[in-house]
A and B are shown apart, each in its own frame.
Chain A
């Protein structure tokens, strides 16, 4: 069975510092991986995806993610955090013939001013 794990319920970081939100996956076949962000009372917003190619994927709002096949990881990163980045972040893998998303449990990112 395919699964996605986000080992940290919450990540705290000071504004201006680099941030990392961790994600590991277990899928059969080639992994197709996504990051979404969820703000209160709003829908999930797409940040970036890895389908194939370069292991470093760049996305919206200055976020990037590094795909590591040997460690089955797809960590989300940003060089300098903003207070406005505070939100709930979900890692997901696309699975099955229908491209349904399998989500992790989410990581709450709190950026302190």
Chain B
């Protein structure tokens, strides 16, 4: 497909379980972002990758959150020992940055995580 894809689309976890969320960005896009969108709120920045380098992880809410992009394409957001407050939609976005610094970001459909 031509767009950003995310899997799974829905994830239900019991409190204390570990989860892994996958993002496939648009092919060739250098930049990749993760955002967290709580119910009724706007997305909030979690972390940013330029190729395989994680340049900004200032938005990760705790050390239970970990993200990687080892080959500069697919990215995984991992949440360890999930808590109820982790319930949200996790959005992935990619950007080309080839024709200007403030290129628009293209978003995936998100993964809705529910922690019971």
Contact = CB atoms under 8 A, between A and B. Distances in A.
A70 interface: no
B91 A101 contact: no
Contact of B31 (A43, A44, A51, A99): A99
B45 A102 contact: yes
Interface in B83-116: 91, 93, 95, 97, 100-110
Nearest to A106: B42
Interface in B66-98: 91, 93, 95, 97
B4 interface: yes
B104 A49 contact: yes
In this complex, the interface size class of chain A, counting residues with CB under 8 Å from chain B, is: 20 to 34
Nearest to A49: B104
A36 B108 CA distance: 13
Q: Is the interface of B mostly helix, strand, loop or mixed?
A: loop
A42 B109 contact: yes
Nearest to B97: A99
Nearest to B33: A100
A98 B56 contact: yes
A69 B93 CA distance: 28
A90 interface: yes
20 contacts: A32-B102, A36-B107, A43-B3, A43-B4, A44-B43, A45-B107, A51-B100, A92-B42, A94-B102, A96-B56, A97-B56, A98-B55, A99-B102, A100-B56, A101-B43, A101-B45, A102-B45, A103-B42, A106-B40, A106-B42
The 9 A-B residue pairs with the shortest CB-CB distance in the complex, in nearest-first order: A103-B42, A43-B107, A44-B107, A100-B45, A46-B104, A98-B48, A98-B56, A43-B109, A32-B102
